[in-house]
Amino acid sequence: MKCRHCGTLLTHTFLDLGFAPPSNAYLTEADLTTPEKYYPLKIKVCDECWLVQTEDYAQANELFNSDYAYFSSTSTSWFAHAKRFALNITEELSLGPESFVIEVASNDGYLLKNFVAAGIPCLGIEPTASTAQAAEKLGIPVLREFFGENLGTKLAAEGKQADLITGNNVYAHVPDINDFTKGLKAALKPSGTITLEFPHLLRLIEQNQFDTVYHEHFSYLSLYTVSRVFGSAGLRIWHVEELPTHGGSLRIYGCHVDDARVTQASVFALMQEEVSRGLQQLKTYLGFQPKADKIKDDLLTFLIDQKRAGKKVVAYGAAAKGNTLLNYGGVKPDLLAFVCDAAAAKQEKYMPGSHLPILAPSAIKQNKPDFIVILPWNIADEVTSQNSFAREWGGKFVTAVPKLTIL
Task: Out of 25, 49, 229, 252, name the contact with Zn ion by CB under 5 A.
Answer: 49
Task: Out of 6, 118, 271, 300, name the contact with Zn ion by CB under 5 A.
Answer: 6
- Is there binding between residue 45 and Zn ion (CB under 5 A)? no
Q: Choose between 49 and 89: whose C-beta lies nearer to Zn ion.
A: 49
- Is there binding between residue 8 and Zn ion (CB under 5 A)? yes
Distance CA 240, CA 200 (A): 12
Bridge partners for 395 per DSSP: none
Distance CA 5, CA 382 (A): 37
Q: How many CB atoms lie within 10 A of CB 291?
A: 17
Q: Choose between 8 and 76: whose C-beta lies nearer to Zn ion.
A: 8
Give, rounded to a whole angstrom, the gap between the first and last alpha carbons of the chain: 43
Q: What is the DSSP string of 342-393?
A: S-TTTTT-B-TTT-PBEE-THHHHHH--SEEEES-GGGHHHHHHHTGGGGGG
Nearest to 10 by CA among 22, 1, 19: 1
Q: In the bound complex, what is the minimum distance in angstroms from residue 147's beta carbon to Zn ion?
A: 22
Q: Choose between 8 and 264: whose C-beta lies nearer to Zn ion.
A: 8
Specify the stretch interacting with Zn ion by CB under 5 A; choose among 38-46, 74-82, 108-116, 309-317. Answer: 38-46
- Is there binding between residue 11 and Zn ion (CB under 5 A)? no
Q: In the bound complex, what is the minimum distance in angstroms from residue 217's beta carbon to Zn ion?
A: 17
- Is there binding between residue 65 and Zn ion (CB under 5 A)? no
- Is there binding between residue 118 and Zn ion (CB under 5 A)? no
Distance CA 6, CA 226 (A): 12
- Is there binding between residue 388 and Zn ion (CB under 5 A)? no
Task: Out of 46, 140, 204, 325, name the contact with Zn ion by CB under 5 A.
Answer: 46
Specify the stretch interacting with Zn ion by CB under 5 A; choose among 22-30, 47-55, 192-200, 235-243. Answer: 47-55
Nearest to 325 by CA among 287, 368, 294, 360: 294
Specify the stretch interacting with Zn ion by CB under 5 A; choose among 45-53, 140-148, 250-258, 376-384. Answer: 45-53
Bridge partners for 243 per DSSP: 249
- Judged by the rule CB under 5 A, the positions of this chain that interact with Zn ion are 3, 5-6, 8, 46, 48-49, 51
